[in-house]
Chains A and B, each alone.
Chain A
Amino acid sequence: MAKKGGRRYLLCRYGGIGDTLLLTSLAGEIKRREPGSKVDVAVRAETSELFEEEDVFDGVLPTKRFPPTNVDAVEVESGWVSTECIKPQYDKVYDLRFSVENNVPTVWLPLSETEGPWRRSMSSNYVNWIDMSFGWCNIDPQDVAAEHKVPTYTVLPEELEWAKERVHKQDGDVVIGIHLQASSLCRTWYKADELPKRLKMLLPEAKILFFDPTSLVWQLQGPLGTKTIDVKSEGGLRKSAALLTQMDLFVCADSGYSHIAAALGIPTLTLYSTVPAWTRELYYEKANFIQSDLSCSPCFSLDGVCPRQQKRARERLSDREKKLLKFEEEKVPPPIAAREMDMPLPAFMQEHAAARQRLRSMSTEEPDCMKNISPEMIAEKAKEILDELKA
């Protein structure tokens, strides 16, 4: 319980699960340095349930993003209020919405709290993300012990019981979890379906807990058959996180679940394509990885598309499609572009949207760096890790 009169902090982070989980180390460090302080965190409403049980956070404020100005807001009695309005209630605010990904100050956020020697010296591409979270809040990462840099995650006793009941793990059972979905396609491994088969060939006795990206349910594949664990109807993200506790090895993409597994001390095998592994898991004791070794990798792209593939996709477009998309690049207003193309505006808009969609779909096919990681490589590495753990 925080001491009365301690300073109040607000950490704002509206990214994915992993981004927010990394703030647990930061909040913990703030509290170690300033006993009695209180730390609230503003996170995306979709993922807020994951952080409600963490002791390091005194309050979790679910936020929603409102178009057209894309302002993040928290819910109050008569509606949603932008986080800017609640910031004055705090002694210190670290708003990482714009500082981490963009590395540039924004026009209207008062970033004085994130100004400082660390902010100027850190680039999100070349620093471990946990160190960077400290740096953006003007805490020298080198002054923080490595064990305090690992995020924390709490599985409630009833959730643990639920997971045990579902998986039925017996003494001597080996459970391998597979979750290869990430928030962007560039970091999602596409041949997820093939991996359980490969793993069974090498480890016939192992139970596979596979997250099916098509139906969004977990499948428990054992020697006696397959059972579906539908977490969606039973509490979503927290239930998925609870299932991690039953795994001996978790094979995953560069996603939030890899960080939850690390926080729970579960051995992981993570596939990295666009970012180097050390930017994510430098401080995780039981983390293993496969890094794509293409000459263009890591490209540090966090977008949904592979830059090389997008370039190739552009070349595959027809001349007419290229011309339609060029108007957009050159910011020609649609009515003028339609006139130049000698076609009515609605027809122009329709054709333009179709060209853009085709470019997008061709750009989001499996990127080279992910193709570079084969199911055999993953299965062999998984076996190697399990053998080491057994030894």
Chain B
Amino acid sequence: MREPISAVIFVRNDPDKLRSLIERLEPVLGRAGEVIVVDQSSTDNTPEVARECGARLLTRTRKGYPDPDRTWAYNQAKNTWVWAWDSDEYPDEELLALVPKLADQERKVHTYWIRRKNLVNGKDIYPILQEDWQPRLFVKGSVQYSDRMHTHPQLGSPHQMWVTKGHIVHERTLEQIEKASENRALARDPQAQQLEHQFRERVRAFLATGEANSGEERRS
């Protein structure tokens, strides 16, 4: 039986992408579905956009990255199924068609891992950052995040599934990646800082070569 979904979106100063994401998600969340926007102290009109779109708005203080708030925010969902998002991501058509069928406890699955591909300036940066799997659709309470950046969440159940159809598309600009390096939270974590630095340099070099490598060949 199809069950309603609560989409939980983390955002900071990103009204346009937030609106676009909510518009895509709403039709598939089910009649009792809801959208929760977790605003990390935006300084622009992001909260107004969230309200206009009919989302439930939760405001958190800015910590530099969302991980410390994730577990708390997902537990605020009123529905059993939580679909976790960041505002710079969106689902492709295949995933949108599939997800309503997946949110069904009769399937005995508690956590769905969904593939995520990464675009920078519209280009798939597969040679640098390969597609990864993210536990994004899950039964409330079955995924726990730690306070640290770039760590995998703890899963409370082995009832999992890896969805091979559809993608979460993570789209950023080079400017956003460079801005992320100024992040104060990052400055406190030398290991994460180092990783970000290496990543930024490789992306910059990849984009500068001008090769339109969509990554499709590598994936196939």
> A interface vs B, CB < 8 Å?
66, 68-69, 71, 73, 76, 78-82, 84-86, 88, 108-109, 333-335, 345-346
B107 within 8 A of A: yes
A335 to B187, alpha carbons, bound, how many Å?
A: 13
**13 A-B interface contacts by CB (under 8 A):** A66-B113, A66-B162, A69-B155, A69-B158, A73-B160, A80-B162, A80-B164, A82-B159, A82-B161, A85-B159, A85-B161, A108-B158, A109-B158
Chain A neighbourhood of B189, CB < 8 A: 335
Residue of B nearest to A109 (CB): B158
- B191 near A84 (CB under 8 angstroms)? no
B190 within 8 A of A: yes
- B190 near A345 (CB under 8 angstroms)? yes
A6 to B165, alpha carbons, bound, how many Å?
A: 35
Residue of A nearest to B94 (CB): A78
- B157 near A108 (CB under 8 angstroms)? yes
- A333 near B191 (CB under 8 angstroms)? yes
- B164 near A71 (CB under 8 angstroms)? no
CB proximity to A under 8 Å, residues B153-182: 155, 157-165
Chain B neighbourhood of A109, CB < 8 A: 158
Chain B neighbourhood of A108, CB < 8 A: 157-158
- In the assembled complex, the CB of B106 is this many whole angstroms from the nearest CB of chain A, namely 10
- In the assembled complex, the CB of A131 is this many whole angstroms from the nearest CB of chain B, namely 29
- B194 near A79 (CB under 8 angstroms)? no
Chain A neighbourhood of B113, CB < 8 A: 66
Q: Is the interface of A mostly helix, strand, loop or mixed?
A: mixed
- In the assembled complex, the CB of A342 is this many whole angstroms from the nearest CB of chain B, namely 14
A82 to B162, alpha carbons, bound, how many Å?
A: 8
B109 within 8 A of A: yes
Residue from B102, B155, B162, B191 whose CB has the most chain A CB atoms within 10 Å: B162
Residue of B nearest to A83 (CB): B158
Residue of A nearest to B192 (CB): A335
Residue from A79, A85, A335 whose CB has the most chain B CB atoms within 10 Å: A79
- B191 near A335 (CB under 8 angstroms)? yes
B51 within 8 A of A: no
B172-212 vs A: 1/0 string, CB under 8 Å? 00000000000000000111001000100000000000000
- B164 near A88 (CB under 8 angstroms)? no
B90-120 vs A: 1/0 string, CB under 8 Å? 0000000010011000011100010000000
Chain A neighbourhood of B161, CB < 8 A: 73, 76, 79-82, 85
Chain B neighbourhood of A66, CB < 8 A: 113, 133, 160, 162
A68 to B190, alpha carbons, bound, how many Å?
A: 23
Chain B neighbourhood of A80, CB < 8 A: 161-162, 164
Chain B neighbourhood of A81, CB < 8 A: 109, 160-162
B62 within 8 A of A: no
A346 to B107, alpha carbons, bound, how many Å?
A: 45
Chain A neighbourhood of B194, CB < 8 A: 345-346
- B159 near A84 (CB under 8 angstroms)? yes
B152 within 8 A of A: yes
Residue of A nearest to B158 (CB): A84
- A78 near B164 (CB under 8 angstroms)? yes
- In the assembled complex, the CB of B150 is this many whole angstroms from the nearest CB of chain A, namely 12
Chain B neighbourhood of A88, CB < 8 A: 108
- A85 near B109 (CB under 8 angstroms)? yes
- B158 near A82 (CB under 8 angstroms)? yes
Q: Beyond the given A66-B162, A80-B161, A82-B158, could you list 14 further A-B residue pairs with CB under 8 A, ordered by the A residue number? A: A66-B113, A66-B160, A69-B158, A73-B162, A78-B163, A79-B162, A80-B162, A84-B159, A85-B107, A86-B108, A334-B191, A345-B190, A346-B194, A346-B198
A197 to B109, alpha carbons, bound, how many Å?
A: 57
- In the assembled complex, the CB of A351 is this many whole angstroms from the nearest CB of chain B, namely 15
Chain B neighbourhood of A73, CB < 8 A: 160-162
- In the assembled complex, the CB of A349 is this many whole angstroms from the nearest CB of chain B, namely 9
- In the assembled complex, the CB of B198 is this many whole angstroms from the nearest CB of chain A, namely 7
Chain B neighbourhood of A335, CB < 8 A: 189-191
- In the assembled complex, the CB of B139 is this many whole angstroms from the nearest CB of chain A, namely 12
Residue of B nearest to A339 (CB): B190
Residue of A nearest to B198 (CB): A346
A113 to B165, alpha carbons, bound, how many Å?
A: 34
Please judge, given known A-B contacts A81-B109, A333-B191, A345-B190, whether A71 and B102 are in contact too, CB under 8 Å: no
- B191 near A69 (CB under 8 angstroms)? no
A73 to B160, alpha carbons, bound, how many Å?
A: 8
